[in-house]
Homo-oligomer: A and B are copies of this chain.
Amino acid sequence: MAGTKYAYVKNFELPDPLLPNTFIVLRVDGHAFHRFTDTHTFAKPNDERGLLLMDHAARAVMEEYKDIVLGFGESDEFSFLLRRSTSMYNRRESKILTTLVSHFTAFYIFYWSTYFPDTPLQYPPTFDGRLVLYPSQKEVKDYFAWRQADTHINNLYNTVFWALVQQGGQTTTEAHATLRGTISSQKHEILFTRFGVNYNALPSRYRKGSVLLREIDLGTEFVSHHSPLLENAHVAVNNSENTFPLDLVADSPGLGETNFRATKKRRKAVVQVLHDDIISDEFWEKRPMLLNGE
Give chain B residues whose Cβ lies under 8 Å from the Cβ of A126: 99, 102-103, 106
Given A6-B149, A17-B14, A20-B11, A106-B125 contact (CB < 8 Å)? yes
**A9 near B139 (CB under 8 angstroms)?**
yes
**A98 near B99 (CB under 8 angstroms)?**
no
Residue from A124, A130, A254 whose CB has the most chain B CB atoms within 10 Å: A124
**A16 CB, min distance to chain B CBs, angstroms:** 8
Residue from A14, A15, A98, A130 whose CB has the most chain B CB atoms within 10 Å: A98
Per-residue B-contact encoding for A238-261, CB less than 8 Å = 1, 0 else: 001011100000000110100000
**A245 CB, min distance to chain B CBs, angstroms:** 11
A121 CB-CB contact with B under 8 Å = yes
**A25 CB, min distance to chain B CBs, angstroms:** 9
A272 CB-CB contact with B under 8 Å = no
**A86 vs B134: C-alpha distance when bound (angstroms):** 16
Give chain B residues whose Cβ lies under 8 Å from the Cβ of A142: 6, 8-9
**A291 CB, min distance to chain B CBs, angstroms:** 12
Which residue of B10, B122, B243 is within 8 Å of A123 (Cβ)?
B243
**A246 CB, min distance to chain B CBs, angstroms:** 14
Q: Which A1-49 residues sit within 8 Å CB-CB of chain B?
A: 1-3, 6-15, 17, 19-22, 31-32, 35
**A98 vs B103: C-alpha distance when bound (angstroms):** 11
**A131 near B243 (CB under 8 angstroms)?**
no
Give chain B residues whose Cβ lies under 8 Å from the Cβ of A244: 123
Given contacts A6-B146, A94-B130, A122-B242, 7 further A-B contacts (CB under 8 A): A12-B19, A12-B133, A19-B22, A102-B105, A105-B105, A109-B124, A135-B135
Q: Which residues of A come within 8 Å of B, CB atoms?
A: 1-3, 6-15, 17, 19-22, 31-32, 35, 94-95, 97-99, 101-103, 105-107, 109-110, 121-136, 139, 142-143, 145-146, 149-150, 152-153, 184, 240, 242-244, 253-254, 256
Question: 28 A-B contacts, Cβ less than 8 Å apart?
Answer: A1-B153, A2-B152, A2-B153, A2-B184, A3-B149, A6-B146, A9-B139, A12-B21, A12-B132, A14-B17, A19-B133, A22-B22, A32-B253, A32-B256, A94-B128, A94-B131, A95-B130, A98-B98, A98-B101, A101-B101, A102-B128, A106-B126, A109-B109, A109-B110, A110-B123, A110-B124, A122-B243, A123-B243
